[in-house]
Amino acid sequence: MLQAASGSNLENLAKIRMKQKDWPYPQWIAHRGAGLHAPENTLAAFRYGYQAGYRMFECDAKLTADHQIILLHDATLDRTTNGTGLASEVSWDQAQRLDAGQWHSTLYAGEPVATLDRLNAFCQANDCMLNIEIKPVPGHELITGTLIAQAACAAWQECEIKPLLSSFSVDALRAAMEAAPELARAQLMHTLRPQWQSAVNELQCHALICNHEIVSADIVGSVHEMGMRCLSYTVNDELTARRLINLGIDGLITDEVERFDPRNGFKSI
């Protein structure tokens, strides 16, 4: 159960957040690599996003039956591979034989399921940053949060800017905090939960990542008063992006890597 922090503790936590180095992450983040233009969460998608100018990527990570970390959004393999069933019930040996590209287009037929290790290597070789969404198969929240946080911490220990860990799962994010407290954390929320401030404070989050439809001036202001950053997903049209930027949003996660220019603002469309 989340414990409500005292007023003095909340004030101290906000001060600690504000004393941290300036938020190191860019405003524009490519969702699942470039999941509209290439098969999501595959290295092909991250390469596509990189060539479109993006230098930070969001990915979804979960565990196989033998606790290898793969990139996959759904609990099941069915939508984005030629496999079936729960990802947590296949071994890495079985997962690496799957085709994770054919569903998107024949151009990507044979694209393998990606691992977090390989994405870490790609990002570090190309000076890119990473938002790892911990996406546990239901019932595997604690072990997933723990192992992903430990893996991220080990892989990025020599890097100045380490990954941002995020999750909808409070249990997974708490496990990540306990396993690697030095990594920045963000709570994902599709709808604003009651007492959300207590939740993000208990997890010592550095950011709140919201569905763009619920973001308001009050939410952005409250997040900033807490010493945190406010990010939004999944922002795919210019009108929404401009509204959020005018509200002071700190980060926008988008599928539309061809529509938005992460270096120079909006493209002429």
Rounded Cα distance, 108 and 209, in Å: 31
Tokens standing for residue 32: 């699942």
Under 8 Å between Cβ of 153 and 183: yes
Contacts of 174 (CB under 8 A, 6+ apart): 145, 202, 203
Under 8 Å between Cβ of 42 and 108: yes
Give the active site residues: 31, 73
- Of 155, 137, 83, 147, the C-alpha closest to 112 is 83
Length of the chain: 269
Rounded Cα distance, 225 and 149, in Å: 27
